[in-house]
Amino acid sequence: MQRHSVVAVVVAVTFTFAGCSADPEVAKREYLKSGDSYVAQGKPNDAIIQYRNAIQQDPRFGEARFKLAEVMARSGDIAGAYREYIRAADLLPRDLQAQIKAGQVLLVAGQFEEARTRADKALEIDRNSATAMVLRGAALAGMKEVNAGVAEVQKAIALDPSRAISYAALGGLQILQGAKAEAEASFKRAIEIDPKAATPRVALANYFWGSGNRAAAEKTLVDAIAAGVTDRSIREALAYLYVATGRGADAEPHLKIIVQETKDPVALASLATQRRDGKCACATEFVAVPKGIWR
């Protein structure tokens, strides 16, 4: 009797999965749900597999492509994320976040006209989106229309003055304008609004570095760590500053933390180089050296 019960359950499950596989609409939703579950569990590789399975069921499944792009971006697959963000935006023409994300990756790729087009589409969806306005301003600046870009970002700030990232973006465009004092003030205002944000502090440090004030650049980054800013970009910038100024010993503690937390091969290579020039010939005590890293 027990054996027959087990057989019945197996048969029932088999037919259930067969039914799902016969209906791509049901299957793609199940794969999407599974991918979401893996993201919640902190298993990005498994999530990527399930989102790809969903897309295999329906190549025009924009929601799955967008979520796949998000996981890829967090996992460091920038090229893959770029492709999926663009595809998702094409498939989700009325999705605000999809248009903004596509515009942001296009901006990073230097495709400024395309980035502006995505910003325009986002503003068609929500004319009061401060994020879309900042994106449009940055794209315009990339197209050599700096003054128009500044005006766009200032509109975003007027709409929502509580967004630190808008002030950071404004500072960057003001540097292009040659308005250095105004740029410094904008970066500092961004830090006042959000003391835990890394982007304004790195931007201010870059500003000081470009102005030849290396002591102020260092202090900006050291103060960020003291304030509890945990984003790795702070330590990366500080380590770069130390290495660039011949202070490898000062860079080592920050590189060590980056390696321990992320197993990043670039940080590992930098750390190993510093140690080879100093007291130690390798960094394998922290993490195994990836094959070919020295080639």
DSSP string covering 251-286:
HHHHHHHHHHHH--HHHHHHHHHHHHHTT-S--TTT
Q: Catalogue all structural domains in the chain, each as residue range(s) with its CATH number.
A: 11-92 (1.25.40.10)
CB-count burial class (<10 Å; 0-12, 13-18, 19+) for 97: middle
Q: What is the pLDDT of residues 145-196, one digit of tens each?
A: 999 999 999 999 999 999 999 999 999 999 999 999 999 999 999 999 999 9
Does the pLDDT at position 204 exceed 50? yes
- Long-range CB contacts (within 8 A, 24+) of 277-280: 277/248, 278/248, 278/249, 278/252
Q: What is the pTM of this model?
A: 0.79
Q: What is the pLDDT of residues 101-125, one digit of tens each?
A: 999 999 999 999 999 999 999 999 9
